Amino acid sequence: MNSDPHDQAIADDGRRFILTSIPSVPFMEAILLFKALPGQAVETRSVAERLYTSEKQAAVLVEQLAAGRIIAPVEGQPNTHRFAPSAELAAMLDKVTHAYVHNLIGVTRLIHSRTERMAHQFADAFKIRKDP
Amino acid sequence: MNEIMLGAIALGSIAVSLFFFRFWKSTRDRFFLLFALSFLIEGVNRIVLYESVGLSEDAPIYYLIRLVAYGLILAAIIDKNRGPRRRE
Amino acid sequence: MSAVIYTLCALTSLACVWFLMGAYARTRHRLLFWSGLCFVMLTVSNILNIFDRFILPNVDLVPARLATALVAVLLLIFGLIWEGE
């Protein structure tokens, strides 16, 4: 199994981040979308158009992204967000989007890997972190 | 009935250990290896000691081995907390 | 001597309950709940064991001990299969 080239290319911390923080492929695509337009206010409707999905599903994605502090709402403009991760998170997002673009099959497989996801969440639950 | 339950417990413990071995295989996290070993030991313990001790389980060795099995779970959890908090 | 070992078994399984349920309370990851429940039943089984041996020697608690241990592993197997989807 480990000789699979799609498995090799993703670094450990990237794997962990994908498994714990990226719930679906559209979620990853939405990150790419916001990331490609740094600083710009993006409407939920335009997210739906660009990802070829319904506005309802796009609204769910946007909500998840905002909850993950990857994007932030734009003040005074309803249903509009911009790419706004912390520096640390931005560095990690650089890493995983790079991996996604260069190893689409490997990363997609990882996103869909329920066993590994469950395992990571289970083991990570025992780490008592000081920061929430 | 007791023998049936004992056999089911042994098989169940080994099945649980296989699940944890699978987690270990996909994550390479020794946390799961310790969990897997714990349940494997408990399952095998039930079978092997039934032959020599019987259903009453009245032998300290039986419980010493079980203590080791539970200890592995605690060791796995403590080990998780001792490791590096942050990768970066 | 054996009393010490039996008590230690009950205490270590109780410690497992404490850690597993504590992790569940923090993260709400459901497999932790099933694991915790498994160790709750194992703790009950170990406590019954102490009763069987030292407190109620005239009562046959073997079926109860085995039944609780069996329920314990069944709960965890259920959790592993159900949550794994």
Task: Express each pLDDT in B53-65 by its tens digit.
Answer: 666 666 778 888 9
**Residue C22 with chain B: CB contacts under 8 Å:** none
Pairing of strands A71-73, A42-43: unpaired
Instruction: Please indicate, yes or no, if residue B69 is contained in any of the structural domains.
Output: yes
3-state SS string over A65-124?
HHHCCCEEECCCCCCEEEECCCHHHHHHHHHHHHHHHHCHHHHHHHHHCHHHHHHHHHHH
Instruction: Please indicate, yes or no, if residue B70 is contained in any of the structural domains.
Output: yes
Condensed to tens digits (0 to 9), the pLDDT of residues B28-39 reads 889 999 999 999
Q: Minimal Cα–Cα distance from A126 to chain C, Å?
A: 6
Please answer whether residues A50 and A42 qualify as being in contact, where contact means their C-beta atoms are separated by less than 8 angstroms. no
> Which site among B63, B80, B82 would you substitute to test the C interface, given the most C Cβ atoms closer than 10 Å to its Cβ?
B63
Cβ–Cβ gap B5/C70 under 8 Å? yes
How far apart CA A19 and CA C20 sit, in angstroms, is: 21
Mean pLDDT on B38-46: 94
> Which of the listed ranges A12-16, A66-70, B27-31, C58-62 does the model predict with the highest average pLDDT?
A66-70
Residues B44-57 as b or e (16 or more Cβ within 10 Å = b): bbbeebbeeeeeeb
Question: What is the amino acid identity at position B56?
Answer: S
Cβ–Cβ gap B88/A129 under 8 Å? no
Residues of the domain holding B28 = 2-82
Instruction: Please indicate, yes or no, if residue B88 is contained in any of the structural domains.
Output: no
**Total structural domains in chain B?**
1
pLDDT band at B1 (very low <50, low <70, confident <90, very high): confident
pLDDT band at A131 (very low <50, low <70, confident <90, very high): very low
Instruction: Please indicate, yes or no, if residue B74 is contained in any of the structural domains.
Output: yes
ipTM reported for the complex, 2 dp: 0.89
Question: What is the amino acid identity at position A50?
Answer: R
Domain boundaries, chain A: 13-124
Mean pLDDT on A8-34: 86
How far, CA to CA in Å, does B64 sit from each of A78, B42, B44, C19? 64, 11, 14, 21
Give the architecture-level CATH label for domain A13-124.
Orthogonal Bundle (1.10)
Q: What integer pLDDT is reported at residue A130 of this predicted model?
A: 44
A127 phi, psi to nearest 5 deg:
-80, 115
The order of strands in the sheet holding A80-83 is A42-43, A80-83, A71-73
Q: Minimal Cα–Cα distance from A61 to chain B, Å?
A: 27
Nearest to A78 by CA among A41, A119, A115: A41
Instruction: Please indicate, yes or no, if residue B41 is contained in any of the structural domains.
Output: yes
Q: What integer pLDDT is reported at residue C14 of this predicted model?
A: 95
Residues in chain A: 132
Q: What integer pLDDT is reported at residue C47 of this predicted model?
A: 94
Give the residue with greater pLDDT, A27 vs A10. Answer: A27
Mean pLDDT on C1-11: 88
Instruction: Please indicate, yes or no, if residue B87 is contained in any of the structural domains.
Output: no
Nearest to A125 among C26, C83, C84 (CB): C26
